[in-house]
Structure 1
Amino acid sequence: MRRLLAGLTAGTFLLATAACGSSDGSGSSDASSGGITSVKVGIIPILDVAPIYLGQQKGIYKKHGLKVSMTAAQGGAAIVPGVVSGQFQFGFSNMTSLMIAQTQNVPVQAVVNGVASTGVDGKDFGATVVKKGSPIKSAKDLEGKKVAVNTLKNINDTTVRQSVRKAGGDPSKVKFVELAFDQMPAALDKGEIDAAMAVEPALSTIKSQGGTEIASSYVDVAKDLTVAMYFTSNQYAQKNPAVVKKFKEATEEALKYADDHPDEVRQVLTTYTKIPSTLLPQLILPSWPAEPNLDSVRTLAKLGQEDGIYKSAPDLDKLIP
């Protein structure tokens, strides 16, 4: 198991070292008290996860008998080992990290939708951007350039490459570097990178510095792309089906609440990110549908295979039961 988890990305080493531990959810992290079950959720501190924070704030999870606590990580590739090891009962991960895990026989399964693209070119919550005055005018110009993504050999590699393909360029010539989303604005401004695949709130921060969007890379992959989902380990799901059901139902309710209350989404973002309040009105919110778009995930899987991210085709029936 240690070997499989370590293979997700080099950056997962610290969490992967715990991967041989129990994943049955036993212990205080899943203790029930007064009818309330406490669960830990591994998340990325970005706009995507606003619904779970709103759900906690508005008492949605409590109503469903859950007390959730969130722990931040840089990307889904780091969260997967944490869930399998039992450090978290649930995690938030982009679809590529989950598909990589599935193809490597890491025992995870998706539970409920996480976040989706708006499907609108030029008005999405994630985009490939360059700094003010950059000579890079289109995704084709990224050939030979240094592009930041939050996790290497993952979803944002694929989305950027697809933008380059669509623009008539050679995606194999892009040079990717790993950088946390919140570090992208400064790195771009200093010229340490040529471009970044950024999501909100980093995207609005870069634009406030005069940066320019050159591609809506999630939209380039598929209309209404399912970008990420919440997941658990197979073992935890088998031993705690009632908790998994509660988490699914509560999160679906939280997703709908977020979709219906955009102003509250912007406000809750200030509780777990460092975004200046002056940028809140400029944020482009994603879509939070209750159900994943499986056709879009199949497209993402196919492109990932072309890029050599998977050694074999992901089994989506097993991953998204």
Structure 2
Amino acid sequence: MRPFLKLAITVWTVLGLSASALAQEALEVTDIRYQGSVGTVVWIELAEHLGYLAPLKAKWVGNTISGPQDVQAVVSNDIDIGGAFNGALVKLIVKKAPVKAVLGYYGVDDTTWSGYYVKNDSPIKTARDLLGKKVAMNTLGAHHDFIVREYLERNKITDEEAKQVTFVITPPVTGEQALRQNQVEVTTLGGILRDKALERGGIRPLFTDRDLFGNFTAGSYVLRNKFIEQNPKASKHLVSALARSIEWARNTPPAQVRSTFESIIKARGRAESADAIQYWKSTGIPSVGGVVLDKDLQVWIDWLVKEDIIKAGQVKPSDLYTNALNSYATGAKVAAK
């Protein structure tokens, strides 16, 4: 029996190595370049940790706090996948940025949303009170920028009056500090940063993005059109792996997700704190597998038309995204409706 067992082990080892080699050959690329975020875990990192990404490997090239910058890095071929607020994506793609939205990666649900906070003793109680004031946000032309503008418009603030509101670019992790030190009168806080700030007390919400739009997928990952054309198998594998990681996080107890995130942050060794992870509650993504829906983009197309940034009929949602790479697409559309 011993010679037989040795032969069997040898055969299975060879077959295993051959299968691995074939898997590597089946995909057109091996590394996927991406930008991360300090103190948090992005979906490609979770997908790699869970084993969904293999045989692809995630290659970290740095961190960013800006969605538009992340997508610009995709356009310039500095990274392979990046994400931004859907309104910013509409503007970029209308301007002929050679990218396609392939997966929703963040959004607003019952427990994950962003608020616009003032101090308890602040005289700011209405949209009109914002005139002449400073509002902190992570970047211009993205999610938080659009939400504030929508809030002003819904409250009958004219375009000319809205120019009196100053938007101040502030890293999310220092947004609370900027408010408490009176550097700004309003700050944007979401998720874990919001909950930590609320624990410390002394602040109250003026309004939230969920107040304005309810639950929605707010931002999408994009790939370069050329990348998809040249690497169809790798593109499909990548997007499906990210979608699987989103579904894992949507259906796994939050405590287990938090523990997993903490272990990923510790293992990557970037000299950062994982303290904020204890406040993670949900993905914020309402659609199954992050599938992109027409409505996720149509609301911002309508807004940009209303603001005369693009022309009516210039673009439709299907011009901006594809679900062809997402293995959850068929069932997720039905579930999201």
TM-score, normalised via structure 2 length: 0.73
Q: Deviations over 1:168-203 (max 9, x none)?
A: 545624321212212211111111011122323322
Alignment-mate amino acid for residue 176 of structure 1: F
Q: Does 1:96 align with 2:87?
A: yes
Q: Shift of the alpha carbon at 1:247?
A: 0.9
Structure 2 distance, partners of 1:94, 1:302, is 15
SS of residue paired to 1:243: helix
Residue correspondences, number: 282
Corresponding position of 1:317: 318
Q: Does 1:215 align with 2:207?
A: yes
Mapping of 1:160-179 within 5 angstroms? 160-170=148-158, 172=162, 173-179=164-170
Alignment-mate amino acid for residue 180 of structure 1: P
SS of residue paired to 2:151: helix
**Conservation of the 8 A alpha-carbon contact between 1:41 and 1:92:** no
Q: Shift of the alpha carbon at 1:317?
A: 2.1
Change (3 A) 1:209 1:283: farther
Structure 2 distance, partners of 1:103, 1:177, is 26
TM-score, normalised via structure 1 length: 0.77
Structure 2 distance, partners of 1:223, 1:72, is 29
Corresponding position of 1:144: 132
SS of residue paired to 1:320: coil
In percent, how many aligned pairs have the same letter?
21
Change (3 A) 1:275 1:267: same
Higher alpha-carbon Rg: 2
Structure 2 distance, partners of 1:269, 1:303, is 35
Change (3 A) 1:154 1:304: farther
Structure 2 distance, partners of 1:283, 1:251, is 19
Change (3 A) 1:168 1:44: farther
Change (3 A) 1:41 1:50: closer
Structure 1 distance, partners of 2:80, 2:298, is 26
Structure 1 distance, partners of 2:129, 2:73, is 38
Q: Deviations over 1:203-261 (max 9, x none)?
A: 223323322222122441x3322211111111111111111100111111111001112
Structure 1 distance, partners of 2:37, 2:86, is 14
Corresponding position of 1:204: 195
Q: Shift of the alpha carbon at 1:112?
A: 1.6
Q: Provide structure 2 residue ranges, at least 5 long, that are not aligned to the other structure.
A: 1-22, 323-337
Change (3 A) 1:282 1:57: closer
**Conservation of the 8 A alpha-carbon contact between 2:135 and 2:187:** yes
Corresponding position of 2:326: none
Corresponding position of 1:188: 179
Q: Shift of the alpha carbon at 1:81?
A: 2.1
Q: Provide structure 1 residue ranges, at least 5 long, that are not aligned to the other structure.
A: 1-31
Change (3 A) 1:132 1:33: farther
**Conservation of the 8 A alpha-carbon contact between 2:86 and 2:296:** no
Q: 2:285 aligns with which of 282, 287, 306?
A: 287
Q: Deviations over 1:129-175 (max 9, x none)?
A: 12343222344432332111211122221111222333454562432
Structure (1 or 2) with the greater helix fraction: 2
- Supply the RMSD in Å over aligned alpha carbons: 2.8
Change (3 A) 1:91 1:207: same
Q: Which moved more, 1:260-269 or 1:184-193?
A: 260-269
Q: 2:57 aligns with which of 52, 67, 74?
A: 67
Q: Shift of the alpha carbon at 1:50?
A: 4.4
Q: 2:35 aligns with which of 34, 42, 47?
A: 42
**Conservation of the 8 A alpha-carbon contact between 1:146 and 1:193:** yes
Structure 2 distance, partners of 1:102, 1:175, is 27
Change (3 A) 1:254 1:181: same
**Conservation of the 8 A alpha-carbon contact between 2:196 and 2:279:** no
Structure 1 distance, partners of 2:309, 2:37, is 21
Alignment-mate amino acid for residue 149 of structure 2: R
